[in-house]
């Protein structure tokens, strides 16, 4: 699968992976700033952004996508940063191909299964008659019936794409998300842990990584540090841009 991507800067390669319903543009500012130190690749994962859609959708195939992306770009190894769903893809890649990942950064997700918690988002998106809507404001009005948070609505509306012959479509493959939602919530540990350096960054206001998860993280990622940004929620790169950027730069530049 040929993944859509953008690249910035020069230096050692760093790949950044977005979360579910996201796309590479969510991390473009971050990639631009890190481009002073690294060759940064922001990537649309399968079924997201401008990357191809597929009925296959789980962390094994997304890690394989990343493996082939690295081969295609002649990367024998690369630092990998992933947020939420992208963090699970990054962890899967590190566990499957540890020699290709000298350092790993996981943002606000743990190596464990999660219960269903996207009910409002999925209901909102499936409530939009995407083949019939005529304007972005019409979509916004429908989303507002299910989601009160304007920031979440704006985030989701970035998935709207105008078709060449008129009308709109979703960039995200909503059918695949619905079909394989349980697989995206899941995560299967590997027998062999990841022993290279890793950093888990959690939002202090987010429920995604709790202190109860620390032993599990250290079991699967034996050389992990865990950092907490107290005032951040799940979207750490939005709520605490500068602290996350500083942690990332310092960690990747350490010997």
Query: Would you call 218 a catalytic residue per the annotation?
Result: no
Query: Would you call 234 a catalytic residue per the annotation?
Result: yes
Model pLDDT for residues 44-88, shown as the tens digit of each residue: 999 999 999 999 999 999 999 999 999 999 999 999 999 999 999
pLDDT surpassing 90 at residue 39:
yes
Q: Provide the pairing of β-strand 103-107 with 79-83.
A: parallel
Which pLDDT score is estimated for 65?
Answer: 98
Catalytic residue, chosen from 39, 51, 84, 206, is 84
Q: Tell me the three state secondary structure of residue 156.
A: helix
Catalytic residue, chosen from 18, 48, 234, 237, is 234
The reply to whether the predicted model has a pTM over 0.75 is yes
Task: Give the domain CATH number at 10.
Answer: 3.40.50.1820
Residue 124 structural domain = 119-179
- Of 179, 197, 223, which one is at a domain's C-terminal end? 179
| Nearest C-alpha neighbor of 104 from the set 236, 251, 212, 227 | 251
Contact 199, 227 (CB under 8 A): yes
Task: State whether 18 and 74 are in the same domain.
Answer: yes
Contact 53, 65 (CB under 8 A): no
Task: State whether 214 and 147 are in the same domain.
Answer: no
165: pLDDT confidence band, cut at 50, 70 and 90? confident
- Of 135, 150, 179, which one is at a domain's C-terminal end? 179
Task: State whether 217 and 148 are in the same domain.
Answer: no
- Distance, CA of 105 to CA of 199 (rounded, Å): 5
The total number of structural domains in the chain stands at: 2
């Amino acid at each position: 699968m040929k993944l859509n991507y953008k690249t910035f800067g020069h230096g050692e390669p760093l790949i950044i992976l977005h979360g579910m319903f996201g796309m590479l543009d969510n991390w473009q500012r971050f990639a631009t700033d890190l481009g002073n130190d690294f060759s940064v690749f922001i990537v649309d994962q399968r079924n997201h952004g401008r990357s191809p859609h597929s009925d296959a959708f789980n962390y094994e195939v997304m890690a394989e996508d990343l493996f082939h992306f690295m081969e295609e770009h002649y990367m024998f190894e690369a630092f990998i940063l992933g947020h939420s769903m992208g963090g699970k893809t990054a962890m899967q890649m590190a566990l499957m191909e540890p020699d290709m990942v000298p350092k790993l950064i996981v943002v606000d997700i743990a190596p464990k299964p999660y219960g269903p918690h996207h009910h409002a988002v999925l209901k909102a998106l499936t409530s939009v008659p995407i083949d019939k809507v005529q304007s972005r404001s019409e979509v916004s009005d429908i989303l507002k019936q299910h989601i009160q948070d304007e920031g979440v609505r704006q985030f989701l509306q970035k998935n709207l794409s105008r078709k060449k012959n008129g009308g709109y479509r979703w960039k995200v493959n909503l059918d695949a998300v619905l079909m394989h939602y349980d697989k995206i919530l899941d995560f299967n540990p590997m027998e062999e842990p990841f022993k290279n350096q890793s950093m888990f960054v959690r939002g202090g206001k987010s429920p995604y990584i709790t202190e109860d998860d620390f032993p599990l993280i250290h079991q699967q990622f034996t050389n992990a540090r865990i950092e907490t940004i107290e005032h951040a929620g799940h979207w750490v790169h939005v709520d605490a841009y500068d602290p996350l950027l500083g942690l990332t730069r310092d960690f990747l530049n350490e010997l």
